[in-house]
Amino acid sequence: MQQRPAILVARAIFPEVLERLRQHFEVSYNGHDEDWSPDELIRRLQGKVGVLTTGSQRIDATLLRACPQLRIVANMAVGFNNFDVAAMTAAGVVGTNTPDVLTETTADFGFALLLAAARRMVESEHFLRAGRWDRWAYDLFAGQDVHGSTLGILGMGRIGQGIARRGAHGFRMRVIYHNRSRLDPTTEAECRATYVSKEELLRQADHLVLVLPYTPQNHHAIGAAELAMMKPTATLVNIARGGIVDDAALAQALRDRRIAAAGLDVFEGEPKVHPDLLTVPNVVLTPHIASATLATRLAMANLAADNLIAFFTRGEALTPVNAPQPQAGAPRAAT
Ligand code: 8YV
């Protein structure tokens, strides 16, 4: 009998997905919610031709050099800033992500954070739980309207478009966006979104949602200078990646009320959170859960598994992020 390909699942995942993988592969498994160190990951990858990762395992040239048998890395995430794509392509290793299956769930959460921050839901809930609510007041936790306001979106991929549709159609918002490239006119019309410069976006948005991928060029794309351009009544929401926002500058801007509120699901250096953010009241903080419904996380895990299965059975991954030579199916040159 032909030996089944050996793969590694680098983090705990749904048992039913693990079971599916076991029908196709010899599976080694990190059953914990903790990442192995880079050295340990390399050690565990010896002899493995595929790996299922989440967004926090770095796949770089050092790892690729040390794991010459590796041919595919299937990320259980739409973002793949943990991949050095150029190094993977050069090494002949395919990377895959999980687009589409999380779009609507993540857009829902972005909107939830926007509403929670703009309407001060968490701050007021803490106040109530602390037993401090003893009277009605005309301005008690008065926030900012969401309906009918101007929604700004930085990064207009699938999730950005999901946020735009919710804002335009559900909340009758005027939607403006900035992106590396302008959307085609049909998609712009569907989203009722108008393309503006980044500076116009910052100046005009009542609520600004960040949905752009993390790249070194986007590092601190929102820092003190950008925050200073925003309206003092504005809300900032980050469901993209930590490092896009300068968290220290944001904490200062929130403390000084240079902007009104923020909702953050991602943080630079997470799961650590900048201590200054923990002490400002006008920010809603969540632990990177925008895609976290059981149905969506299961769909993400299944898509990552399907990528591994398709690659080894049909020679082609379903949602690759690169197209290395030699093509899928051919062995990598021994290094
Ligand atoms: C993941 C995400 O949960 O898909 C992404 O890019 O940020 C989240 O949905 C996280 O990256 C873990 O893989």
Token pair for residue 238?
């980050």
Alpha helices in the chain (DSSP H): 15-22, 38-45, 61-66, 85-91, 103-118, 121-129, 158-165, 185-191, 198-204, 224-229, 247-255, 275-278, 294-314
Ligand 1 test: best mutation among 97, 102, 212, most atoms within 8 Å of CB?
Answer: 102
Is the model's pLDDT at 190 over the cut of 70?
A: yes
State if residue 102 touches ligand 1 by the CB under 6 angstroms criterion: yes
CATH code reported for the domain at 6-100+294-314: 3.40.50.720
CB 334 within 8 A of CB 92: no
User: Which listed residue (104, 190, 270, 332) is catalytic?
Assistant: 270
Quick one: pLDDT at residue 1? 59
pLDDT in tens, 118-173: 999 999 999 999 999 999 999 999 999 999 999 999 999 999 999 999 999 999 99
Of 241, 258, 274, 297, catalytic? 241
Cβ atoms of residues 90 and 59 within 8 Å:
no
- Mean of per-residue pLDDT scores for the chain: 96
Q: How confident is the model at residue 332 (pLDDT cuts 50, 70, 90)?
A: low
Tell me whether residue 107 is exposed, middle or buried, using C-beta atoms within 10 angstroms of its C-beta: 0 to 12, 13 to 18, 19 or more: buried
Nearest alpha carbon to residue 233 among 266, 211, 203, 209: 203
Q: Which atom belonging to ligand 1 lies closest to the Cα atom of 297?
A: 3
Q: How far is the CA of 242 from the centre of ligand 1 (A)?
A: 12
Q: Is 54 in the pocket of ligand 1 (CB under 6 A)?
A: yes
Cα 205 vs. chain centroid, distance in angstroms? 22
**CA angle, corner 202, sides to 159 and 193, nearest 5?**
45
The answer, yes or no, to whether any atom of ligand 1 lies below 6 A from the CB of 291, is yes
288 is catalytic: yes
Q: Would you kindly state where each structural domain of the chain is located, as residue ranges? A: 6-100+294-314, 103-285
For ligand 1, atom 8, which residue shows the shortest CA distance? 77
Task: Categorize the per-residue pLDDT at 326 as very low, low, confident or very high, splitting at 50, 70 and 90.
Answer: low
Q: CATH fold of 103-285, please? A: Rossmann fold (3.40.50)
